[in-house]
Structure 1
Amino acid sequence: MAIKALKPGFRTTFWAGACAVLALLIAYAFWPRALQVEIGQVLKGELVVEVEAEGKTRVRELYVVTAPLTGHLRRIGNRTGEVVQKGDVVAVLDPSESVLLDPRSRAEAEAALTSASAALSLARAQLSEAEVVKEEAKLEASRAKVLFERQVVALSAVDAAVTNFEAASARVRAARAAVARAQSDRGGASLRLNPPRSPGKATRLRQLLAPASGKILRIHSQSETAILAGTPILEIGDPSALEVVAGFLSADAAKFHPGAEVRLTGWGGGALAGRVRIVEPSGYLKVSALGVEEQRVNVIIDFDQASADVSLGDGFRVDAAVTVWSSQETLQVPVSALFREQGSWSVFRLVDGRATLTQVSTGPQTQSQAAVVAGLSENDLVVLYPDRSLTDGQRVRARAD
């Protein structure tokens, strides 16, 4: 008797297929996927390392005209930007009269004059007394000499009389000096009480001359005003002879040397070329906008000859970037690919679709690129901004833009 084979029913086939599909879905869900990452390339080319700081232009030779004495400054006829020649009259100063005394100061001056007059009278009286004593000592000395010649007195009496006469003469000289001093004190007290007046106003005007040829850069006071001695009135200079002074961190300025190339930007035009002329030997403390104390050093920069005709003036803001290292052909990797791994710089290099942890040795770097000394080759692909979850050997793929 033949045995017939049993065919699976519809229900069995359906559930078997459903289980297979579910198993595939579960396997797909838990299958490790390639992580999407940004990819960068290791290239060979020019790399320039610069240190930047904010600076400003200034006239190389600046002349400041100041008031030589206290007075009344006449209105300045020149305007800012006008050309003046050396020796031109740029300001006129009317020296002030003596200050009028208030009642209290006048009373004090009168008392000082009275005291000085009394001191002068006392000095004159003392002089008269000293002169009388001197005449008496002179007579005593003459009388002693006559008596000594007649052998009436001893030689010691003559010496004593001569000594008294010399002492009296010295007192007379001292009294005359005291009179002269008292006269000077009384004269000074009298001048304070009644100061002299100038005979004519025109003769008192003082003309201030331009110390050098150039342009008037700024006028501190255009209108008439009272002014104290030493107050700046205006500044003169040649705006075509400019230099740049920029404050760099002292740690950066220590790397500079005279003649280093400088790129000047941020002034409103294209990039200009310059050279470091001098790094000042003394630094200063500056507090940054964040409240951090920074030790900075002024670096003086000269414009290249080709940049001398630009439309810059005194006190214009510029951004100075000093070149501290440069190379025309150097292997470089994006800085965003670098990270620290066990104290060494490392990257994730892309090899056959997997991220391979690779240690590298780097050289000078900018904000975006770093020179590669060892560990990478030209055209290698590296992962940019690697995530902490990325591990060695993990499958990765480039993120679509």
Structure 2
Amino acid sequence: MDFGLTPEQEKMVAIAKKVAEEEFAPHIHELDENPSLLRNLFKKVCELGVGVGIIIPRKYGGNEAGHLTRMLVNIEFSKVYAPMGLVLQTVPMGLWALLHFGNEEQREKYILPVVKGERMACLAITEPTGGSDVTTIRTTAKKVGKEYIVNGSKVFITLAPEADFCIFTAKTKENPSEISLFLVEKGTEGFIQRVIDKRRGLQGAQVGNITFKDCKIPEENLIGKEGQGIRAALKSVVEVGRLGNTALAIGIAESAFEKTLKFLKERKLYGGKPLAGLQTIQFELVNMRMEIEASKLLAYRAAWLLDQGKTGLEAGGEIATAKVYSSETAKKVAFKVISLCGAYGTLTEFNLVKFLEYALETDPAAGANNICRMLIGRELTGVFTIGG
């Protein structure tokens, strides 16, 4: 197995590092205070070829660099400004559904403007009744003539407040499994986008709720066929969202670790010796570094499997394993670094608590960690059990 990066991957990672250091790092406070600024940076990374187009075919404006390259690039962005990692996790999910289930007209109309950074998309599945069990959704789409009339709501949808179009799931029959996938444009009557104001964590990437109130959607906005919604949505979540979340978690863990390591090398006590020289401190640092490196290897392999032609169904166990391990590592590292830095770790300007807030958001996203554990358990044992 070759662990070296290709020249193309090295080039794209270098571009990502440069834009993150020059465009993100100096403006983190402003980005958190004014999330709309993130849209300008989103356009910038897309124009540089390190945005959502990494996994999109050239035919639709992408560069087909692959899932592993996307993983490497998104880790770099997430290290410097994690909300951008969340944006680059979210936007491609809707495009992935269009790419694999949409028709040619839909692909040509909607994918290219997003790849260019001119538009943003969101994928809306989760409802007040939950998100992990998609068969419980209550949003309905009733066919009337050449339109669908949609009623219902979606909650905790990343980029819902500012997305130019939304791809969402809705029931088209009374059968719980008869769920379909649709696209609705911003500004459509009866399509209401709201921001969730009181929220911690990855604040730079807005999260919101969506309401459909007798929203009329033309029949040509059905993605795929009626009843294909679960399959299309899960493919997007597993192959794009889950791996994107993995990159986000690794970036958060690495950034927290590197900042803490620097502090411990510079902080001197006990006769002018750095704290990093204490054996107990070193053991903690070593344990964190090992878990971060293990997270990377799991993530790289999962992404590589998709690049080899495996589907999310075929590589689901590896993807879920990478997601859970990286998320749990991010949470552990983010918690541990606060205690290693003592009182400094609690200071607002030191910003370590922010890493913990970031890390906590990686757990429920793109398939909660315990849901992923259930999927891994089913693959290991051949038995799928709810509860117990």
When normalised by structure 2's length, the TM-score is 0.22
Greater relative contact order (Cα < 8 A, sep 6+): 1
Larger Rg: 1
Q: Which has the higher helix share?
A: 2
